Homo-oligomer: A and B are copies of this chain.
Amino acid sequence: MSDILSVKPLTASAFSPFGDVIATDGHAPIVINQGQSERFDDLANLQLGAAEGKACLSIFATKPLVLPLLLHQMECHHLGSQAFIPLSGQPWLVVVAPKGKFDRKQVRAFLASGKQGVNFAPGTWHHFSLALEPQSNFLVIDRKSQAIDCEEVEINPPLCLERLP
């Protein structure tokens, strides 16, 4: 028997326990480049350098998912933040739980627009790869080191994402 997890629109305030929403909305830009550009500066608290970590830039090409969807597993990275920014302009899903001991009752699901990225704070539990549309590429900024920093947890019984808001 799966619990139903409701999906809410992604907002900076609702997401603040888990990290940053990466978007221009709600930020005042700095005008640079002789007036040609607006810089929305420093939109995420990137934490990449712990334990000899280095900044790593990657592209994830993800297969789309179809609702209803059962969530069986989440993961977290204790030593570094991880940012996902959609490159395909399509809405996508973000599923998170607070850092610390995993608590299925604290899992939250958000619908991000194609103009919203997120940066998971170190230790924040998150589900992987929740693209909704085909051809979904994401730019990922995370911490790289010799040792793999990824803890996984099973969700048992699974949580169910039934429909979008």
Contact-residue bracket for chain A: 35 or more
Q: How far is the CA of A162 from the CA of B77 in the complex (A)?
A: 49
Residues of B contacting A119 with CB < 8 Å?
57
Given contacts A56-B41, A144-B42, contact A61 B24 (CB under 8 A): yes
Residues of B contacting A61 with CB < 8 Å?
24, 29, 37-38, 40
The one of B22, B38, B40, B56 that contacts A42, using a Cβ cutoff of 8 Å: B56
A43 interfacial by beta-carbon distance below 8 Å? yes
- A residues bordering B, Cβ < 8 Å? 22-24, 29, 32-44, 46, 48-49, 54-63, 65, 73, 83, 85, 87-89, 115, 119, 128-129, 137, 139-141, 144
Q: How many copies does the complex hold?
A: 2
The one of B40, B43, B139 that contacts A85, using a Cβ cutoff of 8 Å: B139
Say whether A62 contacts B37, CB under 8 Å: yes
Say whether A36 contacts B57, CB under 8 Å: no
Q: How far is the CA of A60 from the CA of B38 in the complex (A)?
A: 6
Chain B: minimal CB distance from A72 (Å): 9
Say whether B62 contacts A54, CB under 8 Å: no
Residues of B contacting A22 with CB < 8 Å?
57, 59
Residues of B contacting A62 with CB < 8 Å?
33, 36-38
Residues of B contacting A55 with CB < 8 Å?
46, 48-49, 55, 141
